[in-house]
Amino acid sequence: MHLYKRIMVTGGCGFLGSHLCDRLVAAGHDVLCVDNCFTGTKRNVRHLLDHANFEFVRHDITFPLYLEVDEIYNMACPASPIHYQFDPVQTTKTSVHGAINMLGLAKRVKAKILQASTSEVYGDPEIHPQTEGYWGRVNPIGPRSCYDEGKRCAETLFFDYHRQNRLRIKVARIFNTYGPRMHPNDGRVISNFIVQALKGEPITIYGDGSQTRSFCYVDDLVEGLLRLMDTPDTVTGPINLGNPVEFTILELAQRVIDMTGAKSRLIHQPLPADDPRQRKPDIGLARETLQWEPGVPLEQGLQQTIAYFEKLLSETPR
Ligand code: NAD
Ligand code: UDP
Ligand code: UDP
């Protein structure tokens, strides 16, 4: 058995994928980053390109891919509503055809495969916090459905390949995560608020701002993914990964204003369709199975993220 593994990260040029590549390269693994650069950018892995253990392959996972690897992290998929609604059919294809191709690859080479699923499989939930046993409340025909239903179908495929072909699978249900390398204009609440504050523009609160989310810092999340991949074969998930500390959107806005010293005022805009009212993970299973829980408080994570966007905005012509 090799100490170092050949590990493929689909979506490796994205926000989460690039941080994952960092950790895997640092651990000495041979990392193959597969990405079509739809929402991700080579800039996120620029510092790894000259590294002997890192390789970038430009490829769309909705098409077959033949490579030899030991482990696969299937992270490829646009993740923010603006991005996944830009070409909804391609979003579903990425989740469904992409999963089939990566599972087919894993089956052929007997690789272990992890799926980046999402809290969106719970839809607008009726139970709070969400446990893995909850089946969700998802609209199958709304503007978010390409993402939610695509991810749900990907989970179905993972479990059917597991049952039918004894594939070693790991399914992580990731809750809202933030940190450096988020897209500045992907419409996510943290990136929006920080960029608006840094530019002195009004902070856009959708609805009355009483809806809640819980935000996990990227380093914590990546640690959870690595631990999940290293569990015994009997552990398949799905397993929630996220930070259970819950904030209202109004509280988040105030926090960002305080930390940036912005003079921005708050303005209200309509709540998007199917916007979940509340979201907070129950991470009991992750605590027990992975001995994992997030360690970075919002204040500290926001500091890192604000610093990242300050630098990015200073480099980008307005
Ligand atoms: P991201 O958009 O930054 O990264 C996704 C990457 O996938 C990008 O680099 C993009 O170019 C690539 N990609 C998209 N379609 C592809 C295709 N067909 N073939 C190859 N590459 C493709 O998003 P992220 O926030 O890093 O999310 C990564 C994964 O985690 C996604 O699967 C997402 O659904 C999941 N997730 C993220 C969050 C979060 O809060 N960031 C929450 C839940 C789940
Ligand atoms: N596949 C791939 N790379 C591989 C093996 C398979 O991309 O190394 C794709 C292949 O195109 C196929 C899909 O994965 O469509 C599913 O593979 P599987 O073996 O499960 O199904 P089958 O080939 O029998 O349709
Ligand atoms: N939101 C907001 N202002 C923004 C962007 C988002 O009030 O500028 C709200 C959005 O309506 C949602 C929450 O913040 O209730 C989180 O939105 P995001 O898109 O970041 O994540 P998701 O809805 O996918 O959890």
Query: How would you class 59 by CB atoms within 10 Å of its CB: exposed for 0-12, middle for 13-18, buried for 19 or more?
Result: middle
- Give distance in angstroms: CA of 230 to centre of ligand 1: 22
Residue pLDDT, tens place only, 236-255: 999 999 999 999 999 999 99
Q: Is 187 part of any domain?
A: no
CA–CA dist 98, 108 (Å, integer): 15
Domain of 168: which CATH number?
Answer: 3.40.50.720
Would the CA dihedral through 187, 188, 189, 191 be positive or negative?
A: negative
Among candidates 73, 79, 7, which has minimal Cα distance to 38?
79
Between 275 and 187, the more confident residue is 187
84: domain range?
A: 6-181+216-242+281-296
Tell the residue nearest (CA) to atom 1 of ligand 3.
189
Average pLDDT, the chain: 96
pLDDT at 2: 55
Would the CA dihedral through 59, 61, 66, 71 be positive or negative?
A: positive
Does residue 151 contact residue 95 with C-beta atoms inside 8 Å? yes
Positions marked catalytic: 147
Q: Is 315 part of any domain?
A: no
Q: Is 107 part of any domain?
A: yes
Per-residue DSSP letter, 53 = T
State the ligand closest to the CA atom of 66.
Answer: 2
Q: Is 144 part of any domain?
A: yes
pLDDT at 274: 77
Q: Is 134 part of any domain?
A: yes
Q: Considering the chain, what percentage of its residues have pLDDT values greater than 70?
A: 99
Ligand 2 binding site (Cβ under 6 Å of any ligand atom): 64-66, 100-101, 104-105, 107-108
- Give distance in angstroms: CA of 141 to centre of ligand 3: 20
Does residue 16 contact residue 221 with C-beta atoms inside 8 Å? yes
Tell the residue nearest (CA) to atom 13 of ligand 3.
189
For a ligand 3 pocket test, name from 249, 254, 255, 277 the mutation site with the most ligand atoms within 8 angstroms of its C-beta: 249
Q: Is 94 part of any domain?
A: yes
Is the C-beta atom of 251 inside 6 A of ligand 3?
Answer: no
Residue pLDDT, tens place only, 28-44: 999 999 999 999 999 99
- Give distance in angstroms: CA of 52 to centre of ligand 3: 39
Reply yes or no on whether the pLDDT at 282 is more than 70: yes
Task: Copy the structure tokens of residue 214.
Answer: 């819980």
Report the predicted TM-score, pTM, of the whole model to 2 decimal places.
Answer: 0.96
CA-188 nearest atom, ligand 1: 40
Residue-wise burial string across 102-131, b where 16 or more C-beta atoms lie within 10 A, e elsewhere: bbbbbeeeebbbbbbbbbbbbbbbeeebbe
What's the mean pLDDT in 111-136?
95
Is the C-beta atom of 272 inside 6 A of ligand 3?
Answer: yes
Task: Report how many domains make up the chain.
Answer: 1
